[in-house]
Structures are given as C-alpha cells and as structure tokens.
Structure 1
Amino acid sequence: MSDTVLTAIAAGLAERSPFDPAAHLRLTIEGRHIGWLPRAHAALIAHASGPASGPVLGPEQHGAVALLPGCSDFAQRAAALATLARTLAEAGHVRGWRDELFAVTPALDAPPYAVIERAAARFLGLLTFASHMNGVIAGERALWISRRSPTKATDPGMWDNLVAGGMPHGSHPLETLIRECDEESGIPPALAARAEAHGVIEVLREIPEGVQWEHVFVYDLALPADFVPYNRDGEVAEHRRIAPAALLAIMADRAMTVDATLVTLDALRRRGWTGDAD
C-alpha cells in the first residue's frame, strides 16, 4: 500500500512540475543567471517601454537574454522594473498585486541587482526564495498542516505546510519563518525560533503565471501536544492535526501544493513515517 501511495505522489509531482528549457530564455544581469523567462513572455515585453537608457531586454544570445542591459545600478533597475510590473498588471498579464518587493538576484547570499513587485516575479521566471515549516507534534506521529485561503492569488484552497511564506527583499530564511509563524499559525516568536533547519529544496516548474523557480528553506518545529494553531492574517482557511497515513493520502490526491508536498515528504522520510500508509 505504501509503495502505491508513494508512486501516486511521485507521479503527481512529475505531472505538476513540467519544465521545457527550450521554451525559456536564461534571463541574466551582468552575465549572472537570475531567471527563466518564458519565450512567450519575452515576446510580450520585447517592445515594452524601457528606461531612457535602453530596452527591457537585450538581444538573444545562445539561449540567454539580458534584462535591462542599459541600466547600471540598483536604483535605475528597480525603477524600470516597477514601471514594467505596473504595465504588465494594467494589461492583465500580472495578477494578485502584493505591494511586496522581492530581490532580483542570482543567489540569496549575493547582492541584489534590483527589486520587483512580488506579483511580477514569476511572470519573468525570477529566482525566488521561501521558508516552509513542518509542524511536528512532540511525542506523537502527527503533524499540523494548513489549508490556504480560497482567496489566495496562488494555489487557493490547497493544503500547505503549517507555515509557508515567500521571502521579501531584505529578509532571511529564519526571520521570514518567524514572522510567518506568528501571522499564519499564532506561534510565538520564542517558540518559532526553535525551528530546526533541514536544508534547501529547489523547485523549477512551469505554472500559469510563468515559472516557479524557488529555493525553499525547510524547517521542522516540535510543537507542544496541547498547542492549537490559529490564523491571524486571513491567509489560512483552516488547520488540521493529521497522522502520516492521512497526510500521504492528501498528497497522493494532489490536494497539497507542489512545494509543500516536497517539504512534507522530506520530513516524513527523515522520520521513517512514509511506511505509515500501509
């Protein structure tokens, strides 16, 4: 039974994670790879109004294209990208405006080249960062998970890790996690700070908005048996206390987001709980 469930989960992940490099351009700034721009989106913005110093995109060279090749500093690029994001939103190509800035960067520890409105990041296929946390109930073979609000811009109504959040410009993985713990599940900062880091999972897949290229920082937090999470920011519809077998069934039914499925499987495998589907 467990092999059947795990096979179904793997098949679901594969089907929900297509990526054809030939359909994308490597997006660069100063020769550094910062994104996977869909060719269809490149065609949409090729003639968009760029900064006074030049076009939004340079010419294609060996499957790569430079973003804002005429810009030379952070402020100039950020201003140009703010204009581009607003233009795309007004044309209906970008939805779910957040008024939140993401870094435009080749790596978390690299100085960012610019910032951009979060809603536009996946249209351009930019590398983004997120923190996800498995809420493990201390002394039990059980976890807490959350269901995303039906009004969320992405993956509405789907199951998620207990806490999950994108990393805005100027933040770092644990800081992001502590903030999201408080907002999404009512976990106080002192408890959230005890979360254990378990590496990074890379997600690269085509999605309706463009491309999700994300480095997901994985955390586990042992929660007291009597702790009950509660949402404070309206982004979570419900929380559920769940045993591994039922959780594996949710993942097999593709009712959990792709990134949360990967993070949850990581936790279950580390604990030897994937056999609970038997």
Structure 2
Amino acid sequence: MSDTLPVSHGHDASALSHIAASVAARSPFDGAAHLRLTVAGRQVGWLPRAHAQILRTQDAVPAMLGEPHDGSVALLPRCADFATRSEALAGLARWLAGAGHVRGWRDELFAVTPALDAPAFATIERAAARFLGLLTFASHMNGIIAGERALWISRRSAAKAVDPGMWDNLVAGGMPHGSDPLATLVRECDEESGIPPALAQCAEAHGVIEVLREIPEGVQWEAVYAYDLLLPPDFVPHNRDGEVAEHRRIEPDALLAIMADGAMTVDATLVTLDALNRRGWSAPGAPRA
C-alpha cells in the first residue's frame, strides 16, 4: 500500500497537515527526469537522466546501459546471467565510490529485482543502489509501550551516511539480498535496540508503504515493511551497533510535533503515522484507544 496524506494551507492547519506538508516538501519526484531502468524487460529502478549520462561516459564497465526507448533503458543488456551482472555491478560500485559519486560504503549486497518475491537479476553494493534508483526493501518497527499511550523512537547517529541525526522508528533497517522482512527486523531489533529475538519475533506486520522520492544520492524507491511490537513497560532499549545516537520514550503529541518539524525521516514518519492512526492517537490530545 502507498500512504498519501492531504495537505492543508490554511492558517489553522492541524499537526497532520503540517506533517503532510513536510513529507511532500521532502518527497519530490519528476518522472520526466528519470528513465525506467530495466533488466530482461522488467523495471528494477528509476535512473536519473543525469546519472545515466555519468554511466555512459565512465569506462570502468563497458556497455552499462542500452539505448533509451520510450522512457526506459536496459541495464547491462549484454549480460545474460546473475553472476556476470553482479560482477559488472561490483566493478561499477567501486568506480562510483572512487569517483565520489556514492558514499557510505556498507559491504552489504542489495538485490537488483523488480519485486521482493521475484528472483534477483543481480546484486550490488548497497551504497550504489540509490545512485541507480533501484527498488530496495526495508523493515521498520514502531516500539509501542504496552498499556501506555507512548512509544520508543531512536535518533540516527551523526555518522550515518543517510539522514544523520534525524529521528527514526525504534528499529529500521535495509533488507539485504537473501533476507526477508521478518528476518531483517529480528536482526535489526537486536543490533539497534537490544530487543531479544524471542520478543522481536512477536512483532505484528501491518503492510507495506511505498516511498518514491528524489534524494541527493539519486532516488529512494523503497518498499517499507511496517511492524508494531508491544514492549514491556520496564523495557529500555540499548544500541549495540553504534548506528543509534539515543532512544527516547515519547507520547504521541510530542511525536507529532517532531514529525511536523520535519525532524523525522520521511519513511519513519509514514510508518509512525500508520501506527498512530490505527490506535486513534494521530490527533493532538486524543485519548487512549
């Protein structure tokens, strides 16, 4: 599913309208400025035309792109299998990093694929995925404090390559090739918030939110798998991988203010609003559901 929020421009705009305006302002996308990136006739990304020009002029990996046709362009049209495509994309990622076009090298592979349940055409270093505008996948989790009208959220480390220092869901992580939404979530729960696997496995799935927007790195086209987890009132999260600067226990009104200020990432804002709406907590001052 894809969340769309109404925007009000009146002087008495509600917190939700301010949030919608913030999300819209941070989520531009001009289809005409991009090419549908395809492999074997299936779309795997939205390639910025400016990045297509960079790919055509680099000489590290020959024949990276085919000729554009009807707004689409083929990726590695001369490569016919997973291994050769992956090898070529590994070389491209190294060249992009060396030329300064991508940053935040992860040593983590993402799938090049048209859908989560489709076989991957190749893999690529995570840091290069958004340069190509590839479809990626992530798991995000709202940490709900059981029996209370409150949540836990986290602040991203200032050292993060993407959205440093911004507020995020309690747990959020990209899905590497070969993983799945729940396995990704359980791993990230342990690393980011010290949530044991037995508890993380109890997370409730609440659908998929699609994000498509232009960002400085290229394009974020991501299917975000949303989860809620009820946490014991005495549970206090603790970070184990250095990617979280702090955790905060917060009530909905204060959380709405953070989102209205644009201080939370776009994807986390959408996942959080989904949870608040389901609980009847999205209006300031709303009583406990």
In structure 2, the residue matched to 1:25 is 35
**Deviation of 1:4 (Å):** 1.5
1:219 to 217, 224, 227: 227
- Per-residue CA deviation, residues 8-52 of structure 1 (Å, 9 max, x unaligned), is 00000000000000000000000000000000000001132365x
Q: Is the 8 A contact 1:143 1:241 kept in 2?
A: yes
DSSP-derived class of the 1:28 partner: strand
Q: Is the 8 A contact 2:116 2:137 kept in 1?
A: yes
1:153 to 156, 161, 164: 161
Q: Is the 8 A contact 1:103 1:114 kept in 2?
A: yes
Are 1:8 and 2:27 matched, yes or no?
no
- Per-residue CA deviation, residues 66-125 of structure 1 (Å, 9 max, x unaligned), is 000000000000000000010011000011100000000000000000000000000000
Q: 1:187 & 1:69 partners in 2: Cα distance? A: 44
Runs of 4+ in 1 over 4 A off after TM superposition: none
Alignment of 1:50-89 (within 5 A): 55-89=63-97
Structure 1 spans left out of the alignment, 5+ residues? none
Q: 1:2 & 1:135 partners in 2: Cα distance? A: 31
**Deviation of 1:275 (Å):** 1.6
Are 1:111 and 2:119 matched, yes or no?
yes
Q: 1:167 & 1:245 partners in 2: Cα distance? A: 31
Q: 1:138 & 1:24 partners in 2: Cα distance? A: 45
Structure 2 length as normaliser, TM-score? 0.94
Q: Kindly tell me: are residues 50 and 76 of structure 1, through their superposed partners in 2, closer, same or farther at Cα, counting changes over 3 Å? A: farther
DSSP-derived class of the 1:46 partner: helix
In structure 1, the residue matched to 2:179 is 171
Are 1:92 and 2:92 matched, yes or no?
no
DSSP-derived class of the 2:14 partner: helix
Residue type of the alignment partner of 2:43: H
Q: 1:106 & 1:3 partners in 2: Cα distance? A: 39
- Per-residue CA deviation, residues 171-204 of structure 1 (Å, 9 max, x unaligned), is 0000000000000000000000000000000000
Q: Is the 8 A contact 2:15 2:284 kept in 1?
A: no
Pairwise CA RMSD of aligned residues? 1.3
In structure 2, the residue matched to 1:36 is 46
Report the count of equivalent residues.
276
Alignment of 1:199-278 (within 5 A): 199-277=207-285
Q: 1:122 & 1:277 partners in 2: Cα distance? A: 39
Q: Is the 8 A contact 1:251 1:261 kept in 2?
A: yes
Q: Kindly tell me: are residues 2 and 203 of structure 1, through their superposed partners in 2, closer, same or farther at Cα, counting changes over 3 Å? A: farther
**Deviation of 1:3 (Å):** 5.4
Structure 1 length as normaliser, TM-score? 0.97
- Per-residue CA deviation, residues 113-168 of structure 1 (Å, 9 max, x unaligned), is 00000000000000000000000000000000000000000000000000000000
Q: 1:83 & 1:2 partners in 2: Cα distance? A: 53
